[in-house]
């Protein structure tokens, strides 16, 4: 099975094309990573086209994408593109929580053991946050620094590994690792996502079922 993965929910474009065996072993056919804060809207489709050309396939059998939380515009671009391609190619599409994907991808590259905390800069003085103990993930939360510190001080969250995007949070140790486009293991993210995909009912993987994970909603919700 040929699988296309892509993500523009942060300040980057990531596109991976891989062939998956029945036991989910991956053969990477093409991989692209670019840091492009303002260019995803017109570069993503070109990156997908180039990725498929390099992989020498006309279309994949499955699309997997990160669906947020993250940049509102980036999430919209990823989800809309995935829906359109799924409908055009008549293939299933599956979305994975962005924070979950990054914790899987960074742990593989940095060999993080034990529990992990990820605080993704959500702007407006808040963080998109997820806590993980051995791939047992909390839900993705939209929290103030005070709320996160409270969970740490009360022992609800006891991270061994600290990850973040943007500027180093004031309540983080200076040894924390910044997640960037180039230090995520996309193969691990795709392998994890495939395992989650095969747990899903087939009628939940059509293009209409792919929903963005904005957490805060959209500007329409606040009118």
DSSP of 132-154, one letter per residue? Answer: EETTEEPPPEEE-HHHHHHHHHT
pLDDT confidence of residue 73: 92
* CA pair distance 213, 11, nearest whole angstrom: 17
| Residue 16, strand partner residues | 5, 31
pLDDT confidence of residue 117: 97
Contact between residue 3 and residue 190 where contact means Cβ atoms under 8 Å apart? yes
Coil vs helix vs strand at 176: coil
pLDDT confidence of residue 222: 36
Where, residue-wise, is CATH 3.30.420.40 in the chain? Answer: 2-98+182-222, 113-181
Within 13 A of 10's CA, how many CA atoms are on the CB side? 24
Q: How many CB atoms lie within 10 A of CB 177?
A: 17
pTM: 0.93
Contact between residue 120 and residue 62 where contact means Cβ atoms under 8 Å apart? no
User: CATH for 2-98+182-222?
Assistant: 3.30.420.40
Q: How many CB atoms lie within 10 A of CB 36?
A: 17
Contact between residue 66 and residue 78 where contact means Cβ atoms under 8 Å apart? yes
C-alpha distances in Å from residue 109, one per residue of 79, 89, 183: 26, 33, 7
Beta carbons within 8 Å of 158's beta carbon, 6+ residues apart? 115, 152
What fold characterizes domain 113-181?
Answer: Nucleotidyltransferase; domain 5 (3.30.420)
Q: Which residues of the chain have pLDDT under 70?
A: 37, 109-112, 217-223
pLDDT confidence of residue 204: 78
């Amino acid at each position: 099975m040929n699988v296309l993965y892509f993500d523009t929910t942060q300040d980057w474009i990531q596109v991976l094309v891989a062939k998956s065996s029945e036991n989910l072993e991956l053969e990477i056919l093409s991989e692209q990573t670019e840091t492009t804060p303002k260019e995803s809207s017109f570069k993503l489709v070109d990156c997908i086209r180039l990725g498929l050309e390099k992989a020498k396939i006309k279309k994949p059998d499955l699309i997997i994408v990160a669906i947020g939380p993250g940049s509102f515009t980036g999430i919209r671009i990823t989800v809309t593109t995935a829906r359109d391609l799924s409908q055009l190619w008549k293939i299933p599409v599956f979305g994975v929580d962005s924070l979950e994907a990054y914790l899987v991808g960074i742990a593989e590259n940095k060999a993080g053991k034990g529990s992990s905390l990820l605080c993704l800069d959500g702007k407006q003085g808040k963080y998109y946050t997820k806590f993980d103990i051995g791939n047992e993930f909390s839900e993705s939360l939209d929290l103030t620094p005070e709320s996160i510190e409270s969970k740490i001080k009360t022992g609800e969250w006891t991270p061994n590994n600290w990850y973040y995007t943007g500027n180093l949070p004031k309540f983080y140790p200076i040894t924390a690792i910044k997640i960037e486009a180039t230090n995520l293991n996309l193969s691990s993210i795709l392998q994890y996502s495939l395992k989650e995909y095969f747990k899903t009912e087939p009628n939940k993987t059509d293009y209409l079922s792919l929903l963005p994970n904005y957490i805060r909603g959209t500007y329409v919700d606040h009118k």
